Structure 1
Amino acid sequence: MLKYLLLAFAFLIQPAYAQRYKTRPVTGLLGAFGAEVALVKQSLKKPKEVVVDGIVFTTGQLGKQRVVVAETGIGKVNAAMTTALLLDHFRPRRVLFTGIAGGTNPDLQPGDIVIASRTAHHDYSSVTDKNTPVRQTRDAITRQFNPLYFPADSTLLGLAQRVSGAVTLEGIPLADGGVSNRPVRVMTGTVVTGDVFVASAAKGVSLRTDFGADATEMEGAAVAQVCYQLQVPHLIIRSLSDRADAEAHIAYDKFYPTAARNSAKLVLAIVQGL
């Protein structure tokens, strides 16, 4: 009798379980704030909003791909929370993050794009009894140290590199209202993350020296860590809004709309290439 009761209970709860954990393949697309995901949302066919614990996720189609889009909010905690909700509720096969960043590579200009082959927390550290800093986070599941740098998924990284040359990107605005004729540079590099808007040339040099950073932002490594620990392929795309120096706030206001769209255009091209 108990056996049949358990089978009946399983049958009754199956619809609710299936609704929460859908088996249809889906790609997760995240950005920190509205401007970073605006172009992505505008490109969706048959958009539908789903609210999960107060976070608005928008499902829809991009070409042949079923996707779910969300704003994480600014900062590492917001990014990690939204990523965890995304993974738990929608079970995406992969996660891509689109957004802006400050440039720490002196060869890059606002508008240029960094495809992150790896990401790291630049503001995470502990000090041992020997006064040796440890910068690695610890996996709450395995209790083991994570790598200092979270590697991007090799398949997504290769696809991004292949399609980047065919994406039409916007030129950089000039002070006179025109657009620079300098081609937007797309490179593969290192992105570092911290809960701070970097507006210091000295700090930018430090991040470049200590981590080999090409860009710095406030969400990428948090998204990467959650995906790494739960074994979900991920890729972080960042377009530069400033050079993370003393003029960063001024440059940010001027360049972030163009930078956000350029990053989103590359992410859209990646999704179309899946």
Structure 2
Amino acid sequence: MANSLLGVLSALPEELVHLSDRSGEQTVVGGLPFWRGQIAGRDAVFVETGPGKVNGGVATALMLDRFDCRALMLCGVAGGLDPALGVGDIVIGTNNLQHDYGIDRESGFVTIQPGSRPSLGDDWAPGYPLSEALVTRLRDALAGVELEPLPEAVGVGRRRPGLHFGPILTGDIFVNSGTTRRRLQERFAGAMAVEMEGGAVAQIARRWGADIPIVNVRCLSDLAGSDSHLDFRAFLPVAARYASVVAHRLAPVI
């Protein structure tokens, strides 16, 4: 797939600014501007989707149908779930799961795979995991990469962000609650980050074919707790720049 046209999606303009200068040919479809360009020498189509699963899904469908992209990369920011991680750390998703699609029972909420029908015997286990071969390529591409320490202005000290591989959750919720963060940690053991587009992008891409690689690169702009609304605004531009560094390394191998 590394020779196919790469679709690059970000929800916000701050997330795209380090990925493309928007100088290529532009086409507006469904109110969304798509433009041609390159990332790390690879031909690509870029789009600013807007936040949320519907926006991400619409942009993905157009990428696949109108522009014939056969590899996808999301790049942007996310809230951290794993307490071992810190602001500035990068998570590369090995599985994209939607945490807010399911069955609301008296005993609690049960997450299922979007579109599945467990009553008919469908496999309802949620998630769109990457292939082992793709994860291996991504790990190899990042071997030896060290990110620069965070600027002092961020306010978390001169810590050097780390690179991590693990599950990323998606939902139409900006998590601004320590209670919700803990609930998601308990329900999805091992999940590292939470955002609002990746799981929907993976769902739409799967309809086009199981062989379409989807790589989700997220820098932790906050820790998905009660202060997320404060941290997110302050750190968004810095987090987007760190995510873009990793995205440039991965683009040629997706």
Taking structure 1 as the reference length, the TM-score comes to 0.81
- Matched-pair identity in %: 33
Alpha carbons of 1:121 and 1:63: their partners in 2 closer, same or farther (altered >3 Å)?
closer
1:115-130 counterparts in 2 under 5 A?
115-127=92-104
Q: Is the 8 A contact 2:100 2:111 kept in 1?
A: no
Q: Is the 8 A contact 1:103 1:214 kept in 2?
A: yes
Alpha carbons of 1:56 and 1:115: their partners in 2 closer, same or farther (altered >3 Å)?
same
Q: Distance in 2 between matches of 1:128 and 1:219?
A: 25
Q: Is the 8 A contact 2:40 2:249 kept in 1?
A: no
Alpha carbons of 1:147 and 1:233: their partners in 2 closer, same or farther (altered >3 Å)?
farther
1:5-44 counterparts in 2 under 5 A?
25-42=4-21
Structure 2 residue identity aligned to 1:271: A
Structure 1 residue identity aligned to 2:200: A
Deviation at 1:63, TM superposition (A): 4.4
> What stretches of structure 1 of length at least 5 have no aligned partner?
1-23
Q: Distance in 2 between matches of 1:92 and 1:127?
A: 36
What SS class does the counterpart of residue 172 from structure 1 fall into? coil
What SS class does the counterpart of residue 24 from structure 2 fall into? strand
Rg larger for: 1
Which residue of 2 is the match for residue 97 of structure 1? 74
Deviation at 1:182, TM superposition (A): 2.1
Q: Is the 8 A contact 1:57 1:69 kept in 2?
A: yes
Is 1:196 aligned to 2:173, yes or no? Answer: yes
Which residue of 1 is the match for residue 228 of structure 2? 248
Higher mean alpha-carbon deviation, 75-84 vs 248-257, is at 248-257
Q: Distance in 2 between matches of 1:94 and 1:239?
A: 21
Q: Is the 8 A contact 2:151 2:158 kept in 1?
A: no
What SS class does the counterpart of residue 18 from structure 2 fall into? helix
1:42-57 counterparts in 2 under 5 A?
42=21, 47-57=24-34
Hey, which of these two has a bigger chunk of helix by percent? 1
Alpha carbons of 1:89 and 1:146: their partners in 2 closer, same or farther (altered >3 Å)?
farther
Q: Distance in 1 between matches of 2:52 and 2:40?
A: 31
Which of the numbers 35, 38, 44 marks the counterpart of 1:58?
A: 35
> What stretches of structure 2 of length at least 5 have no aligned partner?
none
Higher mean alpha-carbon deviation, 184-193 vs 60-69, is at 60-69
Q: Distance in 1 between matches of 2:25 and 2:146?
A: 28
Taking structure 2 as the reference length, the TM-score comes to 0.87
Q: Distance in 2 between matches of 1:245 and 1:132?
A: 21
Q: How many residues align?
A: 246
Superposition CA RMSD, Å: 2.6
What SS class does the counterpart of residue 206 from structure 1 fall into? helix
Q: Is the 8 A contact 2:40 2:248 kept in 1?
A: no
Which residue of 2 is the match for residue 6 of structure 1? none
Whose RCO is larger (CA < 8 A, sep 6+)?
2
Deviation at 1:146, TM superposition (A): 5.7
Q: Is the 8 A contact 1:101 1:239 kept in 2?
A: yes
1:251-266 counterparts in 2 under 5 A?
251-266=231-246
Q: Distance in 2 between matches of 1:146 and 1:70?
A: 31
Alpha carbons of 1:63 and 1:111: their partners in 2 closer, same or farther (altered >3 Å)?
closer
What SS class does the counterpart of residue 244 from structure 1 fall into? coil
Deviations 1:32-68 (CA, angstroms, capped at 9, x unpaired): 11011111113x7x72212223211111233442111
Which residue of 2 is the match for residue 16 of structure 1? none
